[in-house]
Amino acid sequence: MNWLREFSDRVQTQVSLAPLTWFRLGGPARFLFRPRDTDDLASFLRYATDEGVATRILGAGANVLVQDDGFDGVVVRLDTPAFKRCDHNGESITVGAGVDLMQLSKRLSQQGYTGLECMAGIPATVGGAVRMNAGGRFGEFADVVSDVTLMEPGGTVETWSRERIDFGYRRSAIGGRTVLSARLTVTPVDPLVTRARFDECFAAKRRAQPLAEHSAGCIFKNPKGTPAGALIDQAGLKGHSCGRARVSEQHANFIVADRGARASEVVSLIREIQERVRERFGTLLETEIDVW
Ligand code: EPU
C-alpha cells in the first residue's frame, strides 16, 4: 500500500458512490482519488500497476451500476481543473476527459458550432463518451472526434487517431487506458440552425425516455433487427418490477430505480428480462451498462 502513503492527502476512504451515479444506488468505494493533473495520474497509475491495485475511472456515472457491496479498490475521478480544460482553436476544440458533455453540447450549439447537437441531454463526461462512443439515433460522439490523447496503464501518454480508436456501436478500442482529452472538429454555421437541431434532439429524448427518474439510460444494446425496447415491450414487461427496480412504462429499455432500490434488485430484473425475451423471441439481450 505504498501508493496510499504517497497520495494520502488526496485520497478519501469509504466514499458512497450512490450520489455519484444516475441510478443513485450501490455501495461505497474503498478509496476515491482525484488526481491534480496528468503527472499525478501517471504516478498513481504506475503505483497501482506495480502494487496490483484495482482501479476504475468514474465519469458522470450515467452508465454504471455499482453493486451493493461497493467497489473494493480505487475509484478515480478526473474532475479537477486540469482535466476540465476546453481549448478552442477555430474548428478544432480540445476538451479534457472531465468536461461535462451535456454542457459542452449545449454551449457549442448555442454558439453555432455544428456536430454535437445530437448529444443533447446525454449525461456523460468526455472520457466516458469516447470510451462508450455515446450516442443514439441522431448521431454518435465518434462523428466529431479527430483524435484522442490517452494514458497507458504504465503512465505513458499517446495520441490515437480516430481510425486507431476503432469506434463502433457503443464501443471503442480504449480498453484499460485512460482518456485524457479528445480533439473534436466542429464547423461554424448559422446558430439558429444548431440551436433548433439541439432543441429537436433534446425534445425527442424527453418524449421517449424517463429522464426525471433514476436510471442508467438504456440497459441493453440493440440487437440486430428489432430494438431491445420493442422486444421488452412486446414481452409485456413494461411496469414489471423486482423489489424497487422497475421496467419503465415510458421506455422498456430503461430500468428505473425507486427510492431505496438495491443494485441486486436491478441485477435480478436484468436477468429476468433476458430470460423472458429469450424465451419469447430467441434473442439474448446484451447489457450496455457497466456493472461494478
Ligand atoms: N419501442 C417500443 N417500446 C418501448 C421503447 C421503444 O416499442 O418501450 C420501439 C420504438 O417505438 C421504436 C424502437 O423501439 O420503434 C426504438 O426505440 P427508440 O427510438 O426509443 O430508440 P432506442 O433504439 O430504444 C436508441 C439508443 C438510446 C438513444 C435513442 C435515441 C440504444 C440501446 N439506445 O434507443 O440510447 O437515446 O436511440 O437516439 O442504442 C443509451 O444508450 O443509454 C440510450 C438511451
List the 245-247 sheet strands across, edge first.
241-242, 245-247, 255-257
Would you state the cell numbers that stand for residue 149, as one nine-digit string?
490523447
Residue with CA closest to ligand 1 atom 37: 136
Under DSSP, the state recorded for 64 is E
Check if the beta carbon of residue 130 is closer than 8 Å to that of residue 174. yes
DSSP notation for 156-173: -EEEEEHHHHT-BTTB-S
Strand 178-185 versus strand 92-96 pairing type: antiparallel
Residue with CA closest to ligand 1 atom 28: 136
Q: Does the CB atom of residue 208 touch ligand 1 within 6 A?
A: yes
Distance 251 CA to ligand 1 centre (A): 7
Q: Does the CB atom of residue 288 touch ligand 1 within 6 A?
A: yes
Quote the pLDDT of residue 232: 98
Phi, psi of 247 (to 5 degrees): -75, 125
Distance 136 CA to ligand 1 centre (A): 8
Q: Does the CB atom of residue 229 touch ligand 1 within 6 A?
A: yes
Quote the pLDDT of residue 1: 76
Determine the Cα–Cα distance for residues 132 and 130; give it in Å rounded to an integer: 6
Distance 31 CA to ligand 1 centre (A): 36
Determine the Cα–Cα distance for residues 46 and 7; give it in Å rounded to an integer: 12
Consecutive 10-residue runs of the chain (292 residues): their mean pLDDT? Answer: 89 97 97 97 95 96 97 98 95 97 97 96 97 94 98 96 97 96 97 98 96 97 97 98 98 97 98 98 97 96
Residue with CA closest to ligand 1 atom 12: 230
What contacts 24+ positions apart, CB below 8 Å, involve 43-51? 43/6, 43/155, 44/3, 44/7, 44/76, 45/151, 45/153, 45/154, 45/155, 45/178, 46/154, 46/155, 47/2, 47/3, 47/6, 47/7, 48/3, 48/74, 48/153, 49/153, 49/154, 51/1, 51/2, 51/3
Substitution site in 137, 201, 207, 250 for ligand 1 pocket (most atoms within 8 Å of beta carbon): 137
Quote the pLDDT of residue 79: 96
Q: Does the CB atom of residue 20 touch ligand 1 within 6 A?
A: no
Substitution site in 218, 233, 237, 254 for ligand 1 pocket (most atoms within 8 Å of beta carbon): 218
Other CB atoms within 10 A of residue 234 CB:
14
DSSP notation for 76-140: E---SGGGS-EEEETTEEEEETTSBHHHHHHHHHHHTEES-GGGTT---BHHHHHHHT-EETTEE
Q: Does the CB atom of residue 177 touch ligand 1 within 6 A?
A: no
Distance 227 CA to ligand 1 centre (A): 7
**Which run of H or of E encompasses 192?**
helix 191-208
Distance 208 CA to ligand 1 centre (A): 8
Quote the pLDDT of residue 90: 87
Q: Does the CB atom of residue 253 touch ligand 1 within 6 A?
A: yes
